[in-house]
Amino acid sequence: MSNIVAIVGRPNVGKSTFFNRLIKRREAIVDAVSGVTRDRHYGKTDWNGREFSLIDTGGYVLGSDDVFEAEIDKQVEIAIEEADAIIFMVDVETGVTGMDEDVAKLLRKVEKPVFLVVNKVDNANRAADAVEFYALGLGDYYTIASINGSGTGDLLDDLVEALPEKPEVEEDALPRFAVVGRPNAGKSSFINALIGEDRYIVTDVAGTTRDAIDTKYNRFGFEFNLVDTAGIRKKSKVKEDLEFYSVMRSVRAIEHADVCLIVMDATRGFDGQVQNIFWLAERNRKGIVILVNKWDLIEKDNKSLKAYEKAIRAQMEPFIDVPIIFMSALTKQRIFKAIETAVEVYQNRTKRIKTSKLNEVMLPLIEAYPPPANKGKYIKIKYVMQLPTPQPQFAFFCNLPQYVKDPYKRFLENKLRENFDFTGVPVSVYMRKK
């Protein structure tokens, strides 16, 4: 299991710059994923061989600074509860503020590793100014300049050193299906309807499930683990609508799942929070099924389903090859269809295509539509193979991989989808020098 590190602090201290710096370093090594970059507030990075997930809490609070005052305490409480380590960022230009003191007060009681990081320290005078942050009572601090990265090395050395070793979880060979979504979308009701017993107490108060529970499920010849992440509140203080909370909760479940069943409430639509969870699953290259729950509550005419589906797909672009099931956990309408679809998506995700078959199908298509010439140079794709990874990734070998642009990679991805059925699964296309 990877560790989670949360970056907390008031607005404009440079949390996002620091976050982007770490994530981008990682993304520069890993092939860039095609498609649109969404607001990045979550990403994986690694240092000295230790991988961890990084969450920039600042990205989850919208609104003015005074709205932030109220929200920041909730953010910090959630971070304290969910993360394995916390980076508390302050700004040497403004010095210690009342808001910093409030956050420090919450962090002083914490048993987990807390790193006080003074940002924007890019010369000796500022390094001297940083001394005032001892007043926060959090002990030693680290001085960094996230804009150019100075000082981040020492911080990260100590950070990964302090992260608790996660026990290697006994990997059950069964596929893992995670049921994720915002509070009150009907995740527990869906699982109850499937299992046919009220294992989870379902009430209409948001967040009645205590923690992520795994259920072995065996019906109709399918066997898999069902992971319920309704897992919400130990502390009554955290308000339920906090987007950051459902995302934080979903991170772990999504990272360790094969297929994510994203339950959304038909009456609320495919809103920002659901989209965040969708992109989280997509970035982790997981299988995805969208379950539109409470469909029985929607006033319908003969066009409503098509229109509703079209609206969701518009929000998911460019990754629109995802099954959408309209269901009702209450009336049990199409709940088994949801599971059958998840099993199909799992099979798509683990599918291996013979290299000979792949070349036989793809090379004639490439010949008919070759990549556009770039700077007078012609790109020749000679050969394609599937990489031995847990999810579908394909390497196309050619003479000038650096000249193949995203639109053409998307064309190749679409052709792979048309010919080999990867519905519900992100497909990665890489260009390699032959």
Known binding-site positions for GTP: 9-16, 56-60, 119-122, 181-188, 228-232, 293-296
Q: Measure the CA angle with vertex 41, ends 175 and 269; round to 5°.
A: 70
Known binding-site positions: 9-16, 56-60, 119-122, 181-188, 228-232, 293-296
User: What does the alpha-carbon distance between residue 70 and residue 89 come to, in Å, rounded to a whole number?
Assistant: 18
The answer to whether 164 touches 157, Cβ cutoff 8 Å, is: no
**β-bridge mates for residue 226, sequence order:** 177, 215
**β-bridge mates for residue 263, sequence order:** 291
**CB-based burial label for 215 (10 Å; 0-12, 13-18, 19+):** middle
CA atoms within 13 A on the CB side of 20: 13
Read off the amino acid at residue 428.
Answer: S
Strand order in the sheet with 393-398: 381-386, 393-398, 428-433
- Work out whether strand 222-228 and strand 213-219 pair parallel, antiparallel, or are unpaired: antiparallel
The answer to whether 56 touches 8, Cβ cutoff 8 Å, is: no
User: What does the alpha-carbon distance between residue 288 and residue 313 come to, in Å, rounded to a whole number?
Assistant: 13
List, in order, residues 6 or more apart from 187 with CB less than 8 Å away.
179, 180, 181, 209, 228, 229, 230, 263
DSSP state of 303: T
The Cα diameter of the chain in Å comes to 70
Scan for tokens 């960022």, then name that residue: 89
User: What does the alpha-carbon distance between residue 376 and residue 286 come to, in Å, rounded to a whole number?
Assistant: 39
Scan for tokens 């009336």, then name that residue: 331
Helix H segments across 163-303? 187-195, 243-255, 272-283
DSSP state of 346: H
User: What does the alpha-carbon distance between residue 409 and residue 190 come to, in Å, rounded to a whole number?
Assistant: 37
